[in-house]
Every structure is written in C-alpha cells, then in structure tokens.
C-alpha cells in the first residue's frame, strides 16, 4: 500500500506498507528508482547499511528499529526489523511492514529552531530515527523490570523455569545489541559520507541521534551483563543443590547397603553362628544396626574434619 503526504515544500513522503509486486512496479515507473535498490527495500533480512548515489539520484538507508509497541517481546519472533529510506532532493520513500509501521507525520517532532517549510528528506529521516530510538529505551526498561520480577521469584524458589526465562531475556537483548551496534555504524557512516553533505542543523541533529543510540547500546549492554551474572549465579546454586542431593543419596545408599549385606549372609543356606538360636534374628538385626551406626559415625567424623 502506497500513501503520499506533502510534509513540506521540500519533502514529499511516500509511505510504502507491505509492498506488493504491483507497488514495486508503480514506484519503479513513477519515480525511476533502480530495481536493485527496490530489492533491498523488500528484503526483510537486510541489515543496517547506507548506499549513496554519486550522481545525486536516489540514496538508500536501511535502519533497524525495535518492532514492539507493547514493550513485550516474549511472543515476537524478531524483536528488531529493518525499515528502508530511499530519498533524493525532495522525495522520501519509507518502506515498512506490519511490525515496523508508524505514521511519519505523528512521529516527527519539529525542534523550535527548525522551520517546517524548510524540511528536506534528510531532516525528516534524522527526526524519525531520533524518535524511533526511544523504542529501544522502552523495551530495554521492560526487559530489566521482567528480570527483576524473575529474580525476586528466584530469591524464594530457585527453579529451572526461572533460569530459562532469564535466558529468553538475554536472547532478546542480543537482538537489540546487534541492531543498536549496526545503527551506530550507519550513523557514523552518514556523518562522514562524501555524497550527502549535512548542514549545521543536520549535523547537530545527527549527533543527538548518535547520543541516544549510544545510550541505548550502553543500557542494553548493562542489562545483558546483569542478566548473565544473575543467570550464572542461580545456575550454580541449582548445580550445587543437585550435587548435594546426589551426595546425600549416595551416602545413604552405601549406609543402607550394610544391613543388606549382613542379612544376605544370614539368608544363605549355610551354617553360621546363632542360626539355630531363637534369638538369632535379634542378633542379626543388632549386628546390622551396629555396623550401620558405625559407618554413619565415620561419615559424621569425616564431615566434621572436612569443615574445620
């Protein structure tokens, strides 16, 4: 679906949502856009990148954004996805999908020192990605809150399910870290490109975007490190608990093997002491209890010496 809006005399926005082959043909014919560039815009797996035309024709910027508006990425396959800007002097095409769609006019917030009538495509792109940067803040804050909730539950009962939840949060952060790092490289490349010269206002706006992305990257790195340390700590607790359980079961299996051996001897069809006595069974039980307690005493002594 193609939607056109005249944002300013110097910038017409053409929003392309879930483009079809017919839409691609229309754009190619109406705006004379290279087919290869349109192919990049259609590639959902395209990573953040810039491609400038030295002749002043169409330029391309692929930029990763957080796909979530509800701040919950637990049921989303890809927490980040690319949007594509194709632009030249006075026209800006924005390619979006169902998970990345937004209304450019509602998203753009014009600074006081900027005149709406003077907005061009590059101004518009910088304003859009500046606003979209806050999506990363929202989802990272949401992940940190969910980590705190999981950790609170772990303080009461350590379980594999909680550790798995922490691993899921860490996986989501990998997407955000990768996307933020790619976006940061795109912004650096945009700053030092030779084909699209930025004016002073645009350079300042670009620095503001770089600051927001850098802060988002630091937030994601810190959240990822915290989740990793918490997950590792509680995994060690679970492992130690399992080791203690296995140790307890092993010790008792050895101790309880003593009566089994003694009763096994007396159960054989051979002559043994006290076999013919009416009190033989009590003696057998007494011998089994004695050696069991003796073995238990040796174990307790060992534990005492080991803990000194």
Lowest mean pLDDT of 62-66, 280-284, 295-299, name the range.
280-284
Phi, psi of 156 (to 5 degrees): -95, -45
- d(Cα 163, Cα 231) in Å, to the nearest integer? 6
Q: Given a cut of 60, is residue 86 above it in pLDDT?
A: yes
Lowest mean pLDDT of 64-78, 196-210, 220-234, name the range.
64-78
Its pTM stands at 0.74
Q: Given a cut of 90, is residue 211 above it in pLDDT?
A: yes
pLDDT of residue 110: 78
CATH code for the structural domain at 2-238:
3.30.460.20
pLDDT of residue 22: 83
Q: How far is CA 226 from CA 71, 154, 181, 290, in A?
A: 19, 15, 19, 53
Mean pLDDT, residues 56-75 taken together:
72
User: Which tens digit of pLDDT belongs to each residue from 15-28?
Assistant: 888 888 888 888 88
């Amino acid at each position: 679906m193609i939607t056109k809006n005249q944002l300013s005399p110097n910038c017409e926005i053409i929003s392309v949502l879930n483009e079809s082959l017919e839409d691609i043909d229309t754009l190619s014919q109406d705006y004379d856009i290279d087919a290869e560039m349109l192919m990049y815009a259609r590639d959902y797996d395209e990573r953040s990148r810039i491609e400038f035309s030295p002749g002043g024709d169409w330029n391309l910027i692929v930029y990763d954004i957080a796909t979530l508006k509800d701040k919950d990425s637990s049921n989303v396959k890809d927490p980040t996805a690319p949007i594509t800007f194709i632009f030249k002097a006075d026209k800006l095409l924005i390619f979006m999908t169902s998970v990345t769609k937004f209304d450019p006019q509602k998203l753009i917030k014009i600074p006081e020192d900027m005149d709406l009538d003077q907005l061009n495509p590059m101004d518009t792109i910088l304003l859009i990605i500046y606003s979209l940067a806050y999506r990363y803040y929202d989802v990272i804050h949401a992940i940190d809150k969910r980590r705190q909730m999981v950790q609170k539950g772990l303080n009461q009962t350590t379980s594999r399910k909680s550790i798995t939840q922490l691993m899921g949060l860490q996986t989501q952060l990998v997407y955000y870290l990768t996307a933020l790092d790619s976006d940061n490289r795109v912004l650096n490349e945009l700053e030092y490109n030779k084909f699209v010269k930025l004016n002073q206002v645009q350079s300042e706006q670009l620095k503001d975007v770089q600051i927001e992305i850098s802060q988002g990257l630091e937030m994601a790195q810190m959240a990822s490190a915290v989740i990793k340390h918490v997950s590792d700590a509680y995994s060690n607790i679970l492992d130690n608990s399992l080791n203690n359980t296995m140790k307890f079961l092993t010790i008792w299996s050895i101790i309880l093997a003593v009566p089994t051996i003694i009763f096994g001897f007396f159960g054989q069809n051979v002559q043994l002491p006290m076999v013919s006595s009416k009190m033989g069974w009590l003696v057998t039980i007494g011998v089994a209890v004695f050696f069991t307690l003796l073995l238990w005493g040796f174990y307790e002594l060992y534990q005492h010496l080991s803990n000194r």
